């Protein structure tokens, strides 16, 4: 009876080890497939991101070039000189001193700007 018990136990052990080995191999195969799928998806996402980044960069460059060309078309003479701007602000400031009403717009100009 002891021999039968040991034989039975040995058979159960072999069967259990075979099941564990088969299950482990199955999990390893599933992990390998999942890893391959993940690597493919990562490659797809990286390619898409690279394409979108390249397009965004090209759009930014186009926008920058458009802005630069629009600045170049502006006549420089239309911008008053520093001295003229200073005089205009001082004249306006002196004429409006104490005449502010509710709802009027005003701007804070640093005193250092006048002293330059």
Query: Do residue 66 and residue 87 come from a single domain?
Result: no
Amino acid 84: pLDDT = 84
pLDDT, tens digit (0-9, with 9 covering 90-100), for 3-35: 787 788 888 888 888 888 888 888 888 888 888
Query: Do residue 73 and residue 86 come from a single domain?
Result: no
Query: Do residue 29 and residue 86 come from a single domain?
Result: no
CA distance 83 to 81: 5
Amino acid 41: pLDDT = 87
* pTM passes above 0.85: no
Q: Give the DSSP per-residue string, 64-106.
A: HHHHHHHHHHS-GGGSPPHHHHHHHHHHHHHHHTT---TT---
Query: Do residue 100 and residue 62 come from a single domain?
Result: no
Amino acid 77: pLDDT = 60
Query: Do residue 100 and residue 72 come from a single domain?
Result: no
Query: Do residue 44 and residue 86 come from a single domain?
Result: no
Query: Do residue 5 and residue 56 come from a single domain?
Result: yes
Query: Do residue 49 and residue 71 come from a single domain?
Result: yes
Query: Do residue 116 and residue 72 come from a single domain?
Result: no
Query: Do residue 15 and residue 65 come from a single domain?
Result: yes
Amino acid 20: pLDDT = 86
- Local mean pLDDT, 10-residue blocks, the chain (116 residues): 80 86 85 85 86 77 68 66 81 71 73 71
- Residue 10 is part of which domain span? 1-77
């Amino acid at each position: 009876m002891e021999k039968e018990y040991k034989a039975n136990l040995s058979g159960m052990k072999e069967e259990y080890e075979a099941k564990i080995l088969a299950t482990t191999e199955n999990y390893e195969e599933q992990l390998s497939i999942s890893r391959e799928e993940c690597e493919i998806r990562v490659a797809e996402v990286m390619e898409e991101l690279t394409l979108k980044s390249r397009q965004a960069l090209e759009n930014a460059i186009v926008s920058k070039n458009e802005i630069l060309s629009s600045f170049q078309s502006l006549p420089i003479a239309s911008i008053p000189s520093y001295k003229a701007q200073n005089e205009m602000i001082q004249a306006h400031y002196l004429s409006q001193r104490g005449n502010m009403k509710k709802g009027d717009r005003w701007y804070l100009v640093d005193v250092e700007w006048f002293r330059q």
